[in-house]
Structure 1
Amino acid sequence: MTHPTLAVAGPAAWPGQDALAAHRSSLDVLADPPSGLVGAPGLLALPGRGPWASPLARTLALCEAMPAALEPHGWRLGTTADGTLRRAGRTLTGDVEALALAAAGYAGPIELPVLGPLSLAAATWLPVGERVVSDDVARADLAASLALGLSRHVAAVTAARDLGVVLDGAVPSGEAAVGGDADSGAASRTGTVVLHEPMLTEVLQGAVPTFSGMSRLRALEAGVVASTIREVAEAMLAAGQVVVLAVPPDARVIDVVGPVLAAAGGGVQVDVMALDRRGMEALAQQVENGLGVRCAVVPHAAPPQAGDVPADPARIATELLQRWRWSGVVPPRLTVLPRSGVASLTPARARETLTLAARCSVALGDALA
């Protein structure tokens, strides 16, 4: 039997205030993982710095020609960008530079996490009225703006990494194909864009609250959700990126987005251990159709307390593997990563959690041997 490729990935967000230190901590684990593993480092958000550093603000700052302003009830689209959104853009640029500096000498792919188009629309308000997700035209415009902005973001990250490579004494990726190996020191142009869709269940169920909170917005049809994801996924494919959708553990969500992502050569990121029987069956069926899966199952490292039993990587790996074997399918690539919420930890606990994820991946290899 052919064993799956084993990989370990990091979170989208990190605690603390220092972007360079955060990226160095992550890269220490992921850029040089234990033997037999593939590491997947990425651009980190540090939301503890302020509202301009939140995933929502960063994603809005990426959107092309879609100004917004932060109001007491949240982000609202408008005619001009306010100071918070401009600061979000500057912070994102600084984080890209911090990543490029921390990743000097690392030529592998980089993951770029952003808020997905539907959760972005559900969390953002129209210039006048309800949430963007409630307006068909505005929702489509925001998705198109995100797709264009993301394409430019990919190019900007590649350029920043190429500059770091040049300063490090290697050949930039744009020149690597001329008389040399593209992996000889140049930053890889192929990476992963992770679209985080934490509100996708509410969008499909019609459970997104209105402005007053007294009612709920209408549910979006499955076809609308699928076509919105497809638009952004196709733009990322054109930019040379693999697309992963981080979704809630919900069978219907997997049914709706799975075929789109499988057709695009992408995958979902989900807490597999939180799926019920129906959800696991849906996931297994989509994996058989070519969908990739990233398992966000690694618990957070907790401060040691008297009598506490430390998290056991072997137990986590065994339970995950049992879940897959029960489904009748083991994906050709098994990627593990921490559960969401790493940004709520201390930097030291975040580093320990990421190290635990790497140890879980090693334990998976041992269980498969």
Structure 2
Amino acid sequence: MSDAAVWPWPEGAATGIGSLPGSDVAEAQRVVLGEFPDFPHLPELPGRGPGADLIGRGAGFLVELPVELYAGRWRVASRPGKDLRRTRDLLDRDVDQLTEQAGEFTGPVKVQAAGPWTLAASIELPIGGRLLRDHGAVRDLTASLAEGVAAHVRDVAARLPGATVVLQLDEPSMPAALAGRVPTESGLGTYRAVEATLAAELLRQVVDAAGVPVVVHCCAPDVPLDVIRSSGATGIALDLSLVKRLDPLGEALDAGLGLLAGAAPTRPSSGTAAVSSAAVADRVRKVWRELGFPAAQLARQVVVTPACGLAGATPAYARAVLAACRDAGRRLHEDALS
């Protein structure tokens, strides 16, 4: 790895993936800023309903490509309507809270948006079928998303002038799109597999447009690390428990990608809200040792996170997970200093 590799977070950092339980965004933002004083994120609360979900929020960034809810699914619409207004209103409220509570913040702050392949695998065309069936439509979606996400990043940067904005692109559906496993609307077939070169090309279009460090998050098996490396992303966020082969991950990290290591479980194993920061730190250390990288490098290149979003957790457990990640990051930093 180049000695010049630079990541936008401080040593021993921890952050959240995005989603939290509940519907009170002011409280959620207070919790995030309290637990992650060095690398907070804009919390997402899908419990508020349509428009606060991953796909609805992501579709809200699209420029001149309106969407609507139809039979519980998002589809391209002929004109903007109430569903899109609700989506954008929820985002505006969230960013207003971030501005109010973190306007003087002077470190890295993370915002999230669904990536192009996950949106293409989820949003339907007006004539039926998902956008993924038409790669021309996917290109249009990507250009629209790139423009909208870039505007969002600029807005947050203007509201928090002392902060460094980091963008997280959520791509849970990208492995299925690459493998040809996204089902058609009938459920009897699947859409054709996406070529890795096309996947990287369109992902890079959004990364380049953002103009800030970008982390690609995928909490699914078979994370396409080569595609993410080719996109120009700064880092990869993944669930460590789903990593079956370490060599591809090691190659990606050796090439300079930062790692948001999903090490804290999103569900309690014992029915309690207890989460051990020592166990979370040990989980990260174990993978790092198996990769064979210098111990002193861990706290610089790696950020500790929950395994995935926490929308399905209880508020008490979610807060315990965030605290465990924060303390695990500090433990790893102390290791580097000792």
TM-score when scaled to structure 1? 0.83
- Residue 344 and residue 314 in structure 1: after superposition, are their counterparts in 2 closer, same or farther (change >3 A)? same
SS in 2 for 1:193: strand
TM-superposed deviation, 1:309? 10
TM-superposed deviation, 1:251? 4.7
Match of residue 292 from structure 2: 328
Match of residue 270 from structure 1: 238
- Single out whichever of 102-111 and 39-48 deviates more from structure 2: 102-111
Match of residue 254 from structure 2: 288
SS in 2 for 1:337: strand
Match of residue 7 from structure 2: none
List aligned pairs for 1:139-150, cutoff 5 A: 139-150=138-149
- Single out whichever of 309-318 and 66-75 deviates more from structure 2: 309-318
Match of residue 89 from structure 2: 90
SS in 2 for 1:335: strand
Answer whether contact 1:121 1:131 (CA < 8 A) is retained: yes
SS in 2 for 1:342: coil
1:344-369 residue CA offsets vs partner (Å, 9 max, x unmatched): 12323222210011111122234443
TM-superposed deviation, 1:255? 2.3
Runs of 4 or more off by more than 4 Å in structure 1?
249-252
Question: How many residue pairs get matched?
Answer: 325
TM-superposed deviation, 1:134? 1.4
* Amino acid in the other structure paired with 1:245: V
* Amino acid in the other structure paired with 1:295: A
Is 1:244–2:208 an aligned residue pair?
Answer: no
**Is the radius of gyration larger for structure 1 or structure 2?**
1
1:230-274 residue CA offsets vs partner (Å, 9 max, x unmatched): 11111112xxx100000245456112222333xx5x110011232
TM-superposed deviation, 1:229? 0.8
SS in 2 for 1:194: strand
TM-superposed deviation, 1:17? 1.3
* Amino acid in the other structure paired with 1:223: T
1:317-349 residue CA offsets vs partner (Å, 9 max, x unmatched): 123212111112255412001121311123232
1:155-189 residue CA offsets vs partner (Å, 9 max, x unmatched): 2223333xxxxxxxxxxx3xxxxxxxxxxxxx32x
Match of residue 21 from structure 1: 27
2:177 is aligned, of 203, 211, 223, to: 203
Where in structure 2 are there 5+ consecutive unaligned residues? 4-9
* Amino acid in the other structure paired with 1:320: V
TM-superposed deviation, 1:73? 4.7
SS in 2 for 1:138: helix
What is the rounded CA distance, in whole Å, between the counterparts of 1:30 and 1:260 in structure 2? 28
Answer whether contact 2:262 2:304 (CA < 8 A) is retained: yes
Answer whether contact 1:132 1:138 (CA < 8 A) is retained: yes
TM-score when scaled to structure 2? 0.90
* Amino acid in the other structure paired with 2:109: I
SS in 1 for 2:19: coil
SS in 2 for 1:344: coil
TM-superposed deviation, 1:144? 0.6
What is the rounded CA distance, in whole Å, between the counterparts of 1:132 and 1:292 in structure 2? 31
Where in structure 1 are there 5+ consecutive unaligned residues? 32-38, 162-172, 174-186
- Single out whichever of 323-332 and 296-305 deviates more from structure 2: 296-305
- Residue 210 and residue 287 in structure 1: after superposition, are their counterparts in 2 closer, same or farther (change >3 A)? same
- Residue 104 and residue 191 in structure 1: after superposition, are their counterparts in 2 closer, same or farther (change >3 A)? closer
Answer whether contact 1:9 1:41 (CA < 8 A) is retained: yes
What is the rounded CA distance, in whole Å, between the counterparts of 2:247 and 2:322 in structure 1? 29
* Amino acid in the other structure paired with 1:111: K
Is 1:192–2:166 an aligned residue pair?
Answer: yes
TM-superposed deviation, 1:315? 2.7
Match of residue 259 from structure 1: 230
TM-superposed deviation, 1:300? 3.6
- Residue 82 and residue 117 in structure 1: after superposition, are their counterparts in 2 closer, same or farther (change >3 A)? same
What is the rounded CA distance, in whole Å, between the counterparts of 1:64 and 1:214 in structure 2? 33
1:215 is aligned, of 177, 182, 189, to: 189
What is the rounded CA distance, in whole Å, between the counterparts of 1:156 and 1:233 in structure 2? 17
What is the rounded CA distance, in whole Å, between the counterparts of 2:281 and 2:156 in structure 1? 33
Match of residue 51 from structure 1: 50
SS in 2 for 1:130: coil
Match of residue 176 from structure 1: none
Answer whether contact 2:219 2:307 (CA < 8 A) is retained: no
Output the aligned Cα RMSD.
2.1
Match of residue 159 from structure 1: 158
What is the rounded CA distance, in whole Å, between the counterparts of 1:86 and 1:28 in structure 2? 31
What is the rounded CA distance, in whole Å, between the counterparts of 2:44 and 2:283 in structure 1? 30
What is the rounded CA distance, in whole Å, between the counterparts of 1:62 and 1:114 in structure 2? 8
